[in-house]
Amino acid sequence: MKLQNKKILVTGADGFIGSHLVEELVRQGRQVRAFVLYNSFNSWGWLDSSPPEILDQLEVFAGDIRDPHGVKEAMRGCDVVLHLAALIAIPYSYHSPATYVETNITGTLNILQAARELGVERVVHTSTSEVYGTALFVPITEDHPMQGQSPYSATKIGADQLALSFHRSFDLPVAVIRPFNTYGPRQSARAVIPTIITQIAQGQRQIKLGALHPTRDFNYVDDTVQGFIAMAEADAAVGEVVNIGSNFEISIGETVQLIAEVMGQEIDLDLDQQRLRPEKSEVERLWADNRKARELLNWQPQYGGREGLKKGLTATAAWFQEPANLARYKAQLYNL
């Protein structure tokens, strides 16, 4: 299915990945309705920073993914839904798990019900590599068992299974995209790469971090965005789960040193106990097998391998070092 002449709803459009996805779709000439979280400030999140030529071509709907009536109204007249809206911070899921159930599971149910009733042509549901938990084998294929090691990952497992059940039960054209660790401009400082960059950029040389030994498969946001678009267009992806990952594994400790290198700084590391996950909740190892994405979507990372990661980190650090961007972050505080 081609997205040309299709009306596309993007939920979570005000967030990190969602805002990048909306901008890319508009640049491609697509008709986009951006679903943002309603608030009394009339803030559209990161879309407020989008260029005028993007905003002029954009329809914005303010609502709440937890409200089925608002979700159905937002979806009315749309052909394709790219569902990114979710609560994603793992530490905050320890603090307030009920909000994760309401947003991630009930919110996804609202999307699926409305899509079924309105006859939407394609729903791309966003999963996460966290559903796999600590790798039982590597690289991780889509057949890897799911392990809910945090309330966040448990709710995403539930949402994923709901999405697939609607395909199996009602033939709803659902595809599940499973990005590994996306990074890039605009990411929250609750994530490890922005927390390192913002501390260095604000002049700190004693960098506070949690565990350094876990490994991750990092994906620059541009690659993740292209994965979403490819998933929406690929008929073969319907009913499938597809990893979007770089197929490159690196430890947090090595990532810190790579960031320091691209920023030209010497740093020391300080273990901050509050940044450690509970022992059984820490995901020790993530490394994506991306063969399915290559075969079904004709997708491959442009920022793969160590050199690709270094290129993406350089671009990310440059964005965060812009004074207006850095001023949005409180590097001195631990962000749940």
Is position 322 within any domain?
no
Residues 6+ apart with CB under 8 A from 253: 212, 213, 269
Is position 134 within any domain?
yes
Tens place of pLDDT per residue across the chain (336 aa): 999 999 999 999 999 999 999 999 999 999 999 999 999 999 999 999 999 999 999 999 999 999 999 999 999 999 999 999 999 999 999 999 999 999 999 999 999 999 999 999 999 999 999 999 999 999 999 999 999 999 999 999 999 999 999 999 999 999 999 999 999 999 999 899 999 999 999 998 899 998 999 999 999 999 999 999 999 999 999 999 999 999 999 999 999 999 999 999 999 998 889 888 899 999 999 999 999 999 999 999 999 999 999 999 999 999 999 999 999 999 888 887
Instruction: Find how far residue 309's CA is from the centre of its chain.
Output: 17
Give the model's pLDDT for residue 335. Answer: 80
Is position 78 within any domain?
yes
| Beta strands in the chain, from DSSP E residues, in sequence order | 7-11, 31-37, 58-63, 80-83, 122-126, 174-179, 181-183, 206-209, 215-216, 218-220, 241-244, 250-251, 268-271
- Alpha-carbon dihedral sign for residues 187, 131, 280, 253: negative
What's the total number of domains in the chain? Answer: 1
Please give the Cα distance from 155 to 93 (Å, whole number).
10
| CATH number for the domain that contains residue 85 | 3.40.50.720
Map residue 215 onto helix, strand or coil: strand
Burial status of residue 66 (CB atoms within 10 A of its CB: 0-12, 13-18, 19 or more):
middle
Give the model's pLDDT for residue 229. Answer: 98
Please give the Cα distance from 235 to 242 (Å, whole number).
13
- Per the structure, the complete domain to which residue 101 belongs is given by 7-182+218-247+284-305
Strands 206-209 and 122-126: unpaired
Give the model's pLDDT for residue 150. Answer: 98
Is position 335 within any domain?
no
Is position 82 within any domain?
yes
Give the model's pLDDT for residue 332. Answer: 81
Is position 167 within any domain?
yes
Is the Cβ–Cβ distance between 81 and 33 less than 8 Å?
A: no
Q: How far, in Å, are 17, 33, 160, 218 from residue 85 at the CA level?
A: 10, 14, 13, 21
Task: Look at residues 173, 245, 177 and name the one whose alpha carbon lies nearest to residue 215.
Answer: 245
Is position 156 within any domain?
yes
Is position 292 within any domain?
yes
The structure's pTM equals 0.97
* Structure-token pair, residue 43: 């803030």
Give the model's pLDDT for residue 271. Answer: 86
